[in-house]
Amino acid sequence: MSDEEYYEEQEEQQEEEQQEFQQGGRPEDGVIRYGNVISLKHEATGRFLTCNGTVYENEGSSGQQRIFGGDWLDGEEIVWLVLPAPGSDEKMGYEVGFDDEVRLRHLPSGGHLHSHDFASPVTGQQEVTCFGSEEESDENDIWKVELFPDEEYEGDYLWHTEFPVVLRHVATGRTLHSHGEMLDDEVNEVTGYEGTDENDRWCVVFEN
């Protein structure tokens, strides 16, 4: 077999695998792929990245849908679809590596995990929201998947379910962050944080 024939065969195999990939499934081998559906658990508080359709109403807010740390009982409100960034060469079914840029689409609402230069309501850090739709997305929906600094890792540099990650907002450089500060209805504030600390660690979990 010539090199050209070999590469053609590899491309055909990849196309077949793409066609077989079922969007919305969970990883079968522990590696996150574009098109997988996940939930994110904040390691320090044990709460889950949640949106339930309520909006920020504090003075100076964007008025967009709130993101907060909630309980597992919130069900579908904690479910997110992993998508490539617009203009990326990545496709559904491709593995997500560290330093890849992704979007997270909230399945119930169709909006995207979003941040921008509005202050969060409790600490005055950066507001994190759910915004847009399946047809509407912008640069403020893009997050970079990073390994936590100084984390020991001797693998393939892919996003595995067992490793906590940092999600860094590409447009502003802030990290997806939560902490013990509570919003008015006893859920944890989620913010964009300047810097990186233990409150930036998020783990992938799945519904049973």
Is 66 a domain residue?
Answer: yes
Q: Give residue 6's pLDDT.
A: 55
pLDDT tens-place values along the chain, 208 residues long: 665 665 466 556 555 555 556 677 888 789 999 999 999 999 999 999 999 999 998 888 899 999 999 998 667 899 999 999 999 999 999 999 999 999 999 999 999 999 999 999 999 999 999 999 999 999 999 999 999 987 777 788 999 998 999 999 999 999 999 999 999 778 999 999 998 999 999 999 986 5
* pLDDT value for 4: 63
Confidence (pLDDT) at 2 = 67
Residue 62 lies in a domain: yes
| Residue 137 covered by a domain | yes
| 86 in any annotated domain | yes
- From residue 92, how far is each of 14, 35, 120, 190 by CA, in Å? 11, 5, 33, 28
Q: For position 23, what pLDDT does the model report?
A: 73
| Count of domains for the chain | 1
Distance of CA 88 to the CA centre of its chain: 16
Spatial distance between the Cα atoms of 177 and 20, rounded to a whole number of angstroms: 35
Q: How far apart are CA 176 and CA 37, in angstroms?
A: 19
- The two structure tokens encoding residue 141: 């929906």
**What's this model's pTM, rounded to 2 decimal places?**
0.87
pLDDT at 155: 80
116 falls within a domain: yes
141: domain CATH number is 2.80.10.50
Phi-psi region of 173 (alpha: psi -120 to 50; beta: other; left: phi over 0): left
Q: Evaluate whether residue 60 is within a structural domain.
A: yes
In a domain, 8, yes or no: no
Residue 4 domain-assigned (yes or no): no
Residue range(s) defining the domain that contains residue 68? 24-205
